[in-house]
């Protein structure tokens, strides 16, 4: 009890009689209450103990595998359920236990905490030298997702269970909490204590807050909508900077003054926002109650609308701030529900929070000690300069004299502006706290300052101290990271240094194409990250086919960006013929760098950087590519002198020895001892001159057509890992049969994680559509660009998407109101606009065909040509069908496209020696255009096609889309789908059975609503016999232009408000009120349409107010 816990859960007591347990000795103090489950024979037994002065007991539920204690914290009212878990080992028994827990939560109330031995892991990383059961992990993760449970990151140790004389490890013990518990204590800490007398580690959950120090200022883009604040800022920016200071310091001081103005404004308005929201909410609720009794008169309705608009504006500001904190890019199209953004913020906080760290082999939890340990670690990494031998690389690729001149031209105003406009507006700011939305908004006031700053840098090549500071943001690279070495440091730069770096980066990338050798795939125009996996896959397939031995060495550099030596960078730039002035600029950017480490949002003390390039600096990727060119040059010389032998491809193909993508390096060569040893020697020489050290214990040797014993022997020589095919390279699989579903698990896991149950519960139907669309922009598109997905994978991904879209889960079925084929049509063809996954896959694979024709001299093209030299008569592309692999799948995709009526040969045409994409307007290949061809090939135009309105939110358009198809939850539709309903009578008029047609046309409520809409627009009433008649009314009443578009938005809004009123009556027992529907329609029309219209809507002129 030295940790002073207030609730303790113990498993496997093996006690058949609780009276014989030393309870007082276990607890340590006299005041204790307990409940337990007795052991069965010699195994089992569960005991829960608590401090009655902290926890008030209500009741308990006992089971051989769990003990539920329900109660509340003393002084609080919220019910707290603590489940002490001792799960069985049998998989089927565990599944039944998970279902029992789900039923307990479904039928109970309050917050839930599940703690104990779950006898299961969630992913392979939670086991070490121990067998991973993927089915068990799947069922366990499904239970966690279905229960909307959250898990805190664990410190102290990655594993909680050890057996086999301490050689085998697993994470079996954990704490899972419900959403409301997690939202109440998002910063709680979970720590695994040392194992003393048990094979399990005790784990401790602490919910007390710890102060990590002040959080820096951060500008929120929503503040730009406050006219008073904007005017105050303009008055500060209009002032002249201190002429005695260098321009960058003058600009920094200006921004500091702006920061002071904003802080003063915030202090004046502190808590005013919440107070104003409360007052406006009360006023609106009051008008809401009045509208239920009588129809509001014109002035009353106008006041309600004004207050509702004010309230909505304040809510929009709040949601905008949440979106910015959550860093959710797709939210620009997003959803009005702030619960989703709160959930993302809390999840990000829990994932990245550092509550303890292993420093020098000692676990520390004190905030000051953690921050000091962070500063010490990164200062040692970045703040140490080491003497290194000179590197001579005469003959390395060099830039031309004209390129030299272009690099050091004076900086133009438009060049500076373009660089700033190319920066994302709301990205996390650096130490100055300002994002680029601020800079762009006040560009008129700041342009002169930035031009002076760039001119000063042009002349001096220096950045003043305090203008190049950065925050190091730590991203965990592994689950339950224990040391700072397990975090990826990303630098958040201030606007001054970022603009300088961005301008230099934009200039530098223009000269790289002819400078950087073709073995480098990253950050050079015309090259692609997937080129590397394509090459390696085809080489492996060819080696297997030709029965040749081959060596592949996958390198892991230790902290590559952070270790790069500045002198080495300067030397390579010198030999590449970069001008002296440019090299001075680069060194100025590097040498001015200072950093502090963010720990839970609070920075450590600052330190000077003396080595490395900062991840997050726009210039860093290009400097790193230049640095790796030195390594490429070394291996080129080694090959020329016979020190290293690469793989020579057939048919006079290229010799492959290396492939680089930034710090990901792959070496290929003949399988010989001398090749392997010389490879190691070359990499060690490269480390001496550059600072880039190979982690041999993380790097892996792979042999193709080589016996396992031989691979082990040579890997022992190299002191590296012994690799096995297939393996991962740049996020892709090499040597795998991609027709097997198991190799698509990363894509499936991404879909399941990003389309999780809690997100579905937090979003409207429109929000779910947007998120479902956005998921394709990440990993699946990456995989789809290289591999043809098998049918069962496409079906599984579609199942996950549709389940999310309709708000269900694997264990909780929901009605799928519209079939997948209709949902995945473009909006113009009557669908929801979700991408057809098969069409997306085929169109992305089609890009390889275009790229091969567009520039056949690229390295990957020459690899394909040499391996697949044979062309069948009349074939458009080379393909040796006897060699399986990625390229063969690309050819297969071409044939599938042809079966669908899309002939690749017809999409491009030869123009002299080059090929032209004939579907674009002077542009290159477009996968989207290929997908559109596939989508349009069998369009059956419906009798009536709903036109979506840009003036109303996505959720309104999507609802009307469903309603127009008769696919909403009216009583007749529910009955057809087997849902029991007490009565089919309409909830509003209580006269006829409820159906879509009745609700929107036959119901008395609907008749009054549509009559009001037409009279509001001074238009004659119309007769509607179906919802289609209503949805085409804006086109049938003889109006044009803006008024027609506005009427269309009003009709869609009225449909949505009518349905909302129906649900209020059905689910909350309210009396139906047509006046309220009319009022809400008017209110939401004025809010939504005003915000989305390109022109200011004059409602008085347009309608009867």
Convert the pLDDT of each residue in 367-399 to its tens digit. 999 999 999 999 999 977 888 999 999 899 999
Whether residue 627 contacts residue 692, with contact meaning beta carbons closer than 8 Å, is answered with yes
Q: Which residue has the higher pLDDT, 710 or 394?
A: 710
Residue 795, domain member (yes or no): yes
pLDDT-based confidence at 999, cuts 50/70/90? very high
Q: How many CB atoms lie within 10 A of CB 105?
A: 19
Residue 456, domain member (yes or no): yes
Closest by CA to 807, choosing from 854, 838, 769, is: 769
- Is the previous residue joined to 58 through a cis bond, with omega within 30 degrees of 0? no
Q: Look-up: residue for tokens 């602490």?
A: 206
pLDDT-based confidence at 1054, cuts 50/70/90? very high
The domain boundary residue, chosen from 886, 903, 936:
936
Q: How far is CA 748 from the centre of its chain?
A: 15
Asked whether residue 703 carries a pLDDT value surpassing 50, the answer given is yes
Helix (H, G, I), strand (E, B) or coil at 745: helix
pLDDT digits (tens, 9 = 90+) for 513-532: 999 999 999 999 889 999 99
Q: Are residue 747 and residue 851 in the same domain, yes or no?
A: yes
How far is 222 from 317, CA to CA, in rounded Å? 6
Q: Are residue 886 and residue 1029 in the same domain, yes or no?
A: no
Helix extents (H) in 965-1073:
971-976, 996-997, 1004-1016, 1027-1031, 1033-1036, 1041-1068
Containing structural domain, residue 260: 221-350
Residue 371, domain member (yes or no): no
Instruction: Give φ, ψ of 909 to 5 degrees.
Output: -135, 150
pLDDT digits (tens, 9 = 90+) for 1058-1101: 999 999 999 988 889 888 898 889 888 888 888 888 787 877 77
Instruction: Give φ, ψ of 852 to 5 degrees.
Output: -65, -40
Least confident of 2-6, 554-558, 637-641, 746-750: 2-6
Q: Are residue 164 and residue 237 in the same domain, yes or no?
A: no
Instruction: Give φ, ψ of 553 to 5 degrees.
Output: -125, 115
pLDDT digits (tens, 9 = 90+) for 788-837: 999 999 999 999 999 999 988 777 788 999 999 999 999 988 899 999 99
Distances from the Cα of 639 to the Cα of 514, 632, 670, angstroms: 21, 11, 12
The domain boundary residue, chosen from 732, 750, 780:
732
Residue 2, domain member (yes or no): no
Q: Are residue 886 and residue 763 in the same domain, yes or no?
A: yes
Q: Which pLDDT score, from 0 to 100, does residue 321 have?
A: 82
Beta strands in 235-382 (DSSP E): 357-359, 362-364
Asked whether residue 850 carries a pLDDT value surpassing 70, the answer given is yes
Dihedral angle at the C-alpha atoms of 999, 1001, 1004, 1005, nearest 10 degrees? 60
Residue 696, domain member (yes or no): yes
Q: Are residue 772 and residue 722 in the same domain, yes or no?
A: no
Asked whether residue 581 carries a pLDDT value surpassing 90, the answer given is yes
What percent of the chain has a predicted confidence (pLDDT) above 90? 65
What percent of the chain has a predicted confidence (pLDDT) above 70? 95
Q: Are residue 1024 and residue 984 in the same domain, yes or no?
A: yes
How far is 1012 from 620, CA to CA, in rounded Å? 62
657 by Cβ neighbours in 10 Å (0-12 / 13-18 / 19+) ranks as buried
Q: Which pLDDT score, from 0 to 100, does residue 886 have?
A: 93
Residue 381, domain member (yes or no): no
Q: Which pLDDT score, from 0 to 100, does residue 27 have?
A: 75
pLDDT-based confidence at 43, cuts 50/70/90? confident
pLDDT-based confidence at 754, cuts 50/70/90? confident
Q: How many domains does the chain have?
A: 5
Mean pLDDT in residue range 308-328: 81
Q: Are residue 536 and residue 652 in the same domain, yes or no?
A: yes
Q: Which pLDDT score, from 0 to 100, does residue 598 have?
A: 96
Asked whether residue 913 carries a pLDDT value surpassing 60, the answer given is no
Q: Are residue 444 and residue 591 in the same domain, yes or no?
A: yes
The domain boundary residue, chosen from 679, 712, 732:
732
Q: Look-up: residue for tokens 């660089």?
A: 419
Q: Which pLDDT score, from 0 to 100, does residue 288 have?
A: 78
Task: Provide the greatest CA pair distance for the chain.
Answer: 95
Q: Are residue 876 and residue 971 in the same domain, yes or no?
A: no
Q: Which pLDDT score, from 0 to 100, does residue 921 have?
A: 47
Q: Are residue 94 and residue 236 in the same domain, yes or no?
A: no
Q: Which pLDDT score, from 0 to 100, does residue 473 have?
A: 96
Q: Are residue 899 and residue 963 in the same domain, yes or no?
A: no
Q: Which pLDDT score, from 0 to 100, does residue 941 have?
A: 65
Q: Which pLDDT score, from 0 to 100, does residue 332 have?
A: 46
Asked whether residue 42 carries a pLDDT value surpassing 60, the answer given is yes
Distances from the Cα of 979 to the Cα of 811, 814, 963, 969, 976, angstroms: 18, 11, 19, 10, 7
Whether residue 557 contacts residue 431, with contact meaning beta carbons closer than 8 Å, is answered with no
Residue 358, domain member (yes or no): no
Q: Which pLDDT score, from 0 to 100, does residue 334 have?
A: 45
Helix extents (H) in 881-1003:
886-899, 904-907, 927-936, 954-964, 971-976, 996-997
Asked whether residue 29 carries a pLDDT value surpassing 50, the answer given is yes
Of 71-75, 194-198, 309-313, 333-337, give the range with the top mean pLDDT: 71-75
Q: Which pLDDT score, from 0 to 100, does residue 386 have?
A: 83
Q: Which residue has the higher pLDDT, 218 or 906?
A: 218
Residue 560, domain member (yes or no): yes
Closest by CA to 218, choosing from 275, 187, 259, 261, is: 259
Closest by CA to 105, choosing from 588, 757, 697, 618, is: 757
Q: Are residue 189 and residue 305 in the same domain, yes or no?
A: no
- 401's enclosing H/E stretch is helix 401-407
Least confident of 332-341, 964-973, 1085-1094: 332-341
């Amino acid at each position: 009890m030295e940790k002073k816990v207030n609730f303790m859960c113990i498993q496997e007591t093996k006690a058949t009689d609780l009276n014989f347990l030393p309870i007082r000795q276990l607890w340590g103090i006299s005041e204790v209450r307990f409940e337990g489950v007795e052991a069965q024979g010699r195994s089992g037994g569960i005991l829960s103990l608590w401090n009655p002065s902290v926890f008030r007991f209500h009741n308990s539920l006992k089971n051989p595998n769990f003990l539920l204690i329900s109660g509340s914290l003393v002084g609080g009212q919220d019910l707290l359920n603590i489940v002490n878990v001792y799960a069985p080992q049998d998989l089927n028994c565990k599944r039944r236990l998970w279902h029992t827990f789900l039923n307990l939560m479904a039928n109970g109330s309050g917050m839930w905490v599940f703690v104990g031995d779950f006898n299961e892991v969630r992913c392979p990383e939670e086991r070490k030298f121990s067998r991973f059961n993927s089915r068990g992990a799947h069922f366990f993760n499904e239970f966690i997702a279905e229960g909307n449970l959250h898990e805190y990151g664990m410190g102290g140790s990655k594993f909680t269970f050890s057996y086999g004389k301490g050689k085998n490890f697993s994470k079996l013990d954990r704490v899972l909490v419900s959403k409301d518990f997690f939202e109440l204590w998002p910063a709680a800490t979970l720590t695994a204590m040392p194992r003393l007398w048990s094979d399990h580690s005790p784990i401790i959950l602490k919910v007390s807050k710890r102060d990590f120090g002040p959080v820096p200022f951060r500008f929120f883009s929503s503040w730009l909508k406050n006219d008073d604040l904007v005017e105050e800022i303009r008055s500060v920016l209009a002032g002249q900077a201190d002429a005695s200071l260098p321009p960058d310091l003058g600009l920094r001081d200006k921004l500091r003054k702006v920061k002071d103005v904003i802080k003063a404004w915030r202090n004046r308005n502190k808590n005013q926002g919440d107070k104003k929201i409360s007052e406006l909410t009360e006023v609106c609720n009051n008008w809401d109650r009045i509208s239920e009794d009588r129809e509001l008169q014109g002035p009353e309705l106008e006041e309600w609308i004004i207050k509702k608009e004010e309230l909505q504006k304040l809510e929009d500001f709040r949601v905008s701030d949440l979106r910015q904190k959550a860093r959710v890019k797709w939210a620009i199209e997003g959803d009005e529900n702030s619960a989703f953004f709160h959930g993302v913020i809390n999840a990000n906080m829990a994932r990245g929070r550092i509550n303890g760290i292993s420093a020098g082999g000692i676990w520390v939890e004190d905030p000051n000690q953690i921050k000091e340990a962070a500063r010490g670690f990164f200062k040692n990494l970045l703040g140490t300069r080491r003497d290194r031998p000179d590197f001579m690389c005469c003959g390395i690729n060099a830039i031309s004299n004209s390129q030299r001149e272009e690099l050091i031209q004076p900086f133009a105003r438009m060049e500076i502006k373009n660089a700033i406009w190319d920066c994302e507006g709301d990205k996390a700011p650096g130490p100055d706290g300002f994002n680029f939305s601020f800079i762009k908004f006040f560009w008129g006031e700041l342009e002169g300052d930035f031009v002076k700053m760039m001119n000063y840098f042009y002349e001096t090549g220096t950045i003043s101290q305090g203008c190049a500071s950065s925050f190091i943001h730590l991203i965990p690279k592994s689950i339950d990271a224990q040391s700072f070495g397990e975090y990826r440091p990303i630098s958040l730069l201030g606007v001054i240094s970022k603009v300088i770096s961005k301008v230099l980066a934009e200039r530098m990338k223009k000269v790289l194409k002819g400078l950087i050798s073709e073995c480098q795939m990253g950050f050079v125009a015309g090259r692609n990250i997937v080129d590397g996996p394509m090459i390696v896959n085809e080489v492996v397939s060819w080696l297997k086919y030709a029965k040749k031995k081959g060596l592949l060495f996958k390198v892991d550099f230790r902290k590559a960006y952070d270790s790069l030596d500045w002198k080495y960078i300067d030397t390579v730039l010198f030999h590449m013929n970069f001008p002296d002035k440019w090299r001075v600029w680069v060194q100025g950017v590097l040498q001015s760098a200072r950093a502090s480490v963010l720990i839970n949002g609070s920075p450590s003390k600052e330190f000077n950087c003396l080595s490395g390039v900062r991840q997050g600096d726009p210039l860093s990727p290009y400097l790193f590519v230049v640095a790796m060119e030195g390594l490429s040059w070394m291996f080129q010389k080694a090959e020329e002198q016979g020190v290293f032998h690469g793989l020579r491809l057939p048919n006079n193909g290229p010799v492959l020895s290396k492939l680089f993508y930034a710090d990901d390096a792959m070496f290929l060569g003949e399988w010989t001892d001398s090749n392997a040893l010389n490879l190691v020697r070359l990499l060690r020489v490269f480390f001496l001159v550059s600072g880039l050290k190979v982690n041999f214990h993380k790097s892996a040797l792979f042999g193709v057509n080589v016996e396992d014993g031989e691979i082990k022997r040579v890997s022992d020589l190299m002191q590296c890992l012994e690799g096995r095919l297939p393996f991962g390279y740049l996020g892709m699989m090499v040597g795998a049969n991609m027709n097997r579903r198991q190799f698509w698990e990363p894509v499936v896991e991404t879909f399941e994680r990003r389309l999780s149950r809690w997100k579905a519960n937090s979003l409207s139907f429109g929000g779910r559509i947007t998120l479902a669309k956005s998921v394709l922009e990440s990993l699946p598109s990456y995989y789809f660009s290289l591999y043809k997905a098998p049918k069962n994978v496409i079906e599984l991904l579609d199942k996950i998407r549709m389940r999310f879209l309709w708000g269900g889960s694997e264990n909780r079925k929901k009605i799928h109101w519209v079939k997948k084929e209709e949902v995945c049509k473009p909006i113009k063809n009557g669908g929801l606009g979700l991408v057809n996954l098969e069409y997306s896959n085929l169109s992305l694979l089609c890009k390889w065909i275009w790229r091969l024709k567009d520039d056949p001299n690229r390295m990957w093209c020459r690899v394909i040509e040499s391996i697949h030299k044979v062309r069948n008569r009349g074939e458009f592309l080379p393909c040796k069908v006897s060699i399986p692999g990625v390229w063969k799948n690309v050819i297969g995709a071409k044939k599938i496209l042809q079966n669908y009526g899309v002939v690749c040969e017809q999409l491009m045409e030869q123009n002299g020696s080059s090929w032209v994409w004939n579907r674009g307007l002077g542009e290159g290949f477009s996968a989207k255009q290929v997908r559109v061809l596939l989508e349009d090939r069998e369009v059956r135009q419906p009798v009536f096609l709903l036109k979506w309105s840009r003036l109303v939110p996505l959720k309104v358009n999507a609802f009307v889309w469903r309603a127009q198809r008769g696919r909403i939850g009216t009583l007749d539709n529910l009955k057809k789908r087997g849902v029991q309903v007490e009565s089919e009578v309409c909830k509003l008029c209580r006269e006829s059975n409820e159906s879509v047609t009745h609700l929107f046309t036959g119901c008395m409520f609907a008749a009054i609503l549509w009559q009001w809409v037409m009279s509001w627009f001074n238009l004659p009433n119309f007769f509607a016999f179906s919802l289609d008649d209503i949805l085409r009314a804006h086109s049938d009443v003889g109006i044009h232009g803006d008024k027609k578009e506005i009427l269309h938005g009003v009709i869609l809004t009225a449909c949505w408000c009518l349905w909302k009123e129906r649900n209020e009556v059905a689910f909350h027992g309210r009396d139906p009120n047509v006046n309220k529907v009319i009022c809400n329609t008017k209110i939401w029309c004025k809010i939504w349409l005003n915000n989305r219209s390109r022109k200011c809507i004059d409602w008085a002129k347009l309608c009867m107010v």
